[in-house]
Amino acid sequence: MSADGTATIAEVAARAGVSIATVSRVMNGIAKRAGADTAERVWAAARALGYRPTSAGQALRQKQSRLVALLAANLANPAMAAIAASVEAALREQGLVMVLADTHDEPDLQDEYLAEMRAHLARGIVLLGAIASPRLRQMQADGASLLFVNRRSPEGAAGFVGIDNRRAGADVAAFFNAQGIASPGIIHGARTSSATADRIEGFLATLPRAKPRLATGPAATHQQIGYDCALNVLAPGKGRRGIFCLSDLIAYGAHRRLIEAGLRVPEDVLLVGFDDNPMNDWVAPWLSSVRVPYDGFGPAVVSAFQSIWRGERPEIILPHRLVARCGQALDPATPATGRSGQHSP
């Protein structure tokens, strides 16, 4: 033990059965000088002993630290919080430390956090819902270790982890068609988001004759957008109607407005959300929704960063599925799961 009672690098080396130099190489991320099995033994020994490398000296030598930043667009959204939790756990398993910040979908705040993370020599930055901003454009042009999750980079091609949003939108359209709802409405947030744009495009391409009513609003929250727009997107007539809400939060707001108007969900109006956040089984049994694989994001982010640090540009597409609730049956002929795979263009 050192003078302050913490474990030393020599003790880690002895426990792992390797040299001090090997421990140093593993801790410094020199992957080519230590095999995967050796690296795992070293990290396991370090965790067991509570050893932490001296981050300041390492950061100055490597021009990076053990920190990985995750900048989320809206942590009030349970879906983003669930993805962040998955990423934190996966990074921790790799001996990395995640710091979390909420950009509130504001470009100035996003740039402020990007500058702060660069000053702290962050090894990588996850952008969970990025928007266009000057510093993001600069850092991407400079080759910074940036990974875009859920939304693609607004500044050109870059590493990406997410689902096939266009395919997911098509799956929702097929679901409405199977339920006999010919002209469902759509409530969405800003279409500047690649995820939003892809979902709408996939939906419209699958129901080209439907001519659905689309609506959004200036409200700050998705719940308020859903509430404000719910009645505006309903197709005319007295038959059963439907609304595609491009987030579960939008669906929550729409549900409240429909109930206030004396309409039953899903008997009179079928609502389909997006994300299928972990609370839906408890608080929204009336909501069918596209489920994203929250637990899969963490390992995918780690894998993507490993590719980025090798100089590659990874793209990992995770599977999704449409969860139908309240006895709403999926069309057996309609695929409800997106493709899953990885390639580095």
The rounded distance, in Å, linking the Cα atoms of 220 and 329 is 34
Q: What is the pLDDT of residue 33?
A: 58
User: For residue 299, which amino acid is it?
Assistant: P
Q: What is the pLDDT of residue 344?
A: 31
The DSSP bridge pattern shows strands 269-275 and 124-128 to be: unpaired
pLDDT per residue rounded down to tens, the chain (345 residues): 545 556 788 899 999 999 888 887 787 665 555 677 888 898 899 888 888 665 544 544 444 578 999 999 999 899 999 999 999 999 999 989 999 999 999 999 999 999 999 888 899 999 999 999 999 999 999 999 999 999 999 988 899 999 999 999 999 999 999 999 988 999 998 888 899 999 999 999 998 887 889 999 887 899 999 999 999 999 888 789 999 999 999 999 999 999 999 999 999 999 999 999 888 999 999 999 999 999 999 999 999 999 999 999 999 999 999 999 976 655 444 444 433 333 333
Q: Is the pTM of this model over 0.85?
A: no
CATH of domain 165-291+322-343: 3.40.50.2300
Q: What is the pLDDT of residue 64?
A: 58
Q: What is the pLDDT of residue 5?
A: 56
- Fold match between domain 62-158 and domain 165-291+322-343: yes
Question: What's the Rg (C-alpha) of the chain?
Answer: 23
Task: Write phi, then psi, for 208 (nearest 5 degrees).
Answer: -65, -20
Q: What is the pLDDT of residue 30?
A: 59
Q: What is the pLDDT of residue 75?
A: 92
**Tokens for 321?**
């599925």
The rounded distance, in Å, linking the Cα atoms of 273 and 82 is 17
- Residue 33 has what DSSP assignment? G
Q: What is the pLDDT of residue 343?
A: 32
Count of all residues that appear for the chain in the document:
345
Q: What is the pLDDT of residue 182?
A: 84
**CATH 3.30.9.10 is the classification of domain 62-158:** no
For the chain, the structural domain boundaries read 9-53, 62-158, 165-291+322-343
For 284, the 3-state DSSP assignment is coil
Q: What is the pLDDT of residue 329?
A: 58
Task: Write phi, then psi, for 273 (nearest 5 degrees).
Answer: -100, -165
In angstroms, the Cα distances linking 311 to 38, 114, 176, 212 are 23, 21, 43, 44
